[in-house]
Amino acid sequence: MGTEQFREIAKFLLDAELERRDVVRITKDKVPDLTVDDAYLIQEEIVKLKLEQGHSIVGPKMGLTSQAKMKQMNVEEPIYGYIFDNMVVQEGSAVSLSDFIHPKVEAEIAFVLGKDIEGPGISGAQVLAATDYVIPALELIDSRYENFNFTLPDVIADNASSSKVVLGNRLRKPEELELDLVGTTLSINGEIKDLGAGAAVLGHPANSVAMLANMLHRKGEKLTAGQIILTGGITGAVQLSKGDVVSAKLDGLGEVGFTVVE
Ligand code: OOG
Ligand code: MG
Q: What are phi and psi of 58, to 5 degrees?
A: -85, -40
What is the average pLDDT score of the chain?
97
Nearest-CA residue for ligand 1 atom 10 is 161
Scanning 20-123, the segments in alpha helix (DSSP H) are 36-52, 67-73
Residue pLDDT, tens place only, 102-137: 999 999 999 999 999 999 999 999 999 999 999 999
Could you read off the pLDDT of 3-20 as tens digits, one per residue? 999 999 999 999 999 999
Residue 112's pLDDT is: 98
Ligand 1 touching residue 73 (CB < 6 A): yes
pLDDT at 1 over 90: no
Quote the crossing angle between the two packed helices 3-18 and 36-52, to the nearest 10°. Answer: 60
Per residue in 43-100, pLDDT (tens digit) is: 999 999 999 999 999 999 999 999 999 999 999 899 999 999 999 999 999 999 999 9
For the chain, domains (ranges, CATH) are: 3-261 (3.90.850.10)
Residues 139-150 have a mean pLDDT of: 98
Helix (H) or strand (E) holding 128: helix 124-130
In whole angstroms, give the CA distance from residue 194 to residue 175. Answer: 26
Cα of 76 from ligand 1 centre, angstroms: 12
Question: Which numbered atom of ligand 1 lies nearest the CA of 64?
Answer: 6
User: Edge-to-edge strand order for the sheet containing 191-197?
Assistant: 94-96, 254-261, 245-250, 183-188, 191-197
Compute the average pLDDT of residues 249-262. Answer: 98
Cα of 233 vs centre of ligand 1, distance in Å, is 7
